[in-house]
Amino acid sequence: MDRTGLEPELGGALRQKYVYVDESTCIGCGHCAYVARNTFCLEEDYGRARVINQTGDSVSLIQEAIDTCPVDCIAWVNERELARLEELRKHQVITNMGLVGDNARRGHRATWNIDF
Ligand code: SF4
Whether the Cβ atoms of residue 32 and residue 68 lie closer than 8 Å to each other: yes
CA distance 54 to 21: 12
CA distance 45 to 50: 11
* Domains annotated on the chain, with CATH: 16-107 (3.30.70.20)
Determine the distance separating the centroid of ligand 1 and the alpha carbon of 28, expressed in angstroms: 5
Q: Check: pTM over 0.75? Answer yes or no.
A: no
Which one-letter amino acid corresponds to residue 104?
Answer: A
Determine the distance separating the centroid of ligand 1 and the alpha carbon of 108, expressed in angstroms: 11
Closest residue by CA, ligand 1 atom 6: 32
Chain segment 22-67, per-residue pLDDT in tens? 999 999 999 999 999 999 999 888 889 999 999 899 999 999 999 9
Whether the Cβ atoms of residue 11 and residue 59 lie closer than 8 Å to each other: yes
Determine the distance separating the centroid of ligand 1 and the alpha carbon of 7, expressed in angstroms: 28
Chain segment 65-105, per-residue pLDDT in tens? 999 999 999 999 988 899 999 999 888 887 777 655 554 44
CA distance 102 to 85: 27
Ligand 1 lined by 69 (C-beta under 6 Å): yes
